[in-house]
Amino acid sequence: MTLKSILKSNRFTNNLITQIRKLQYNIIPYISSIIIFNIKKILRVTRIDKKSRYEKLREIKNKHKGERCFIVATGPSLTIEDLEKLKNEITFSMNSICLAFDETDWRPTYFGIQGVYVFNKLQKYIEKLDVQCKFIGDTIPKQKVYSDDYYVYPINMLKHNMVHHRYKTKFSDDAFAVVYDGYSITYSLIQIAVYMGFNEIYLLGADCNYSSNMNHHFKEYDYVDPTFLLAGDKMISAYKVAKKYADRNNIKIYNATRGGMLEVFERVDLDAVLSERNKGKFSAS
């Protein structure tokens, strides 16, 4: 028997080896990444470092102070008709929404993406996308982020890349300092919207319902989250954190999604919200 097999056959030594490997490959790299992230954040926020890749974010702070916006997620409840109705609104959208552009001339005002696999899958569409800003999480490799309309944001993944059973996140109102992962790009865009000054935010297509029939997206693109059975619970736990922040800071977040499992935010009817705005316009004219 080799020394390795002898050590593995002993329960104590086998457990010790497992814990050492966990420390070596998981815990130490995680702690190191957090330390480096926070040092860079301090240097950036205190303006010691004025040349970081996040500088462009300073241009959009409070750009839309006191305004409303719609964050269009890509759940299966979303329809082309919904997008057509939003042409006169400030909108954020994400990920595979660009696959719908051959069916509508609506385009989001802002676009966001942070998943590496999804970015690689949709990069050719993203590069052609004509929007005011493309918000790109710094999870995307630097060599892929080169366009002038890319606004890179610093995302703190917390422990979400590691196996964990307690779903926790934080909420940031300073996207230049940090954007916290909340298990979805939608959560990141809510934080960015708050940083930009929006105080009335409507979610659309945020189904939070990853069914076993694999119909998970408005436009499918051959991607299935391997943890999809838990994804809804993870996202809902994060939205509860956003709701607490919003309530404390006089920010209104509404859910205009048709159906789905998200009950954290007050539900509203999209058509009613849009018609109310139109009534106001007509009465003022």
For the stretch 87-136, pLDDT in tens is 999 999 999 999 999 999 999 999 999 999 899 999 999 999 999 999 99
**CATH code assigned to 55-284:** 3.90.1480
**Mean pLDDT value of segment 210-228:** 58
Residue 281 reports pLDDT greater than 80: no
d(CA 187, CA 133): 17
pLDDT value of residue 144: 76
Return the structure tokens found at 242. Answer: 């956003």
For residue 225, the tally of other CB atoms under 10 A from its CB is: 16
pLDDT value of residue 123: 92
pLDDT value of residue 282: 35
Which value, in Å, is the radius of gyration of the alpha carbons in the chain? Answer: 21
Is residue 9 within a helix (H) or strand (E), and if so which, with residue range? Answer: helix 3-9
The structural domains of the chain, with segments of one domain joined by +, span 3-45, 55-284
- Return the SS3 of 138: coil
Q: Give yes or no for a contact between 229 and 210, defined as CB atoms under 8 angstroms apart.
A: yes
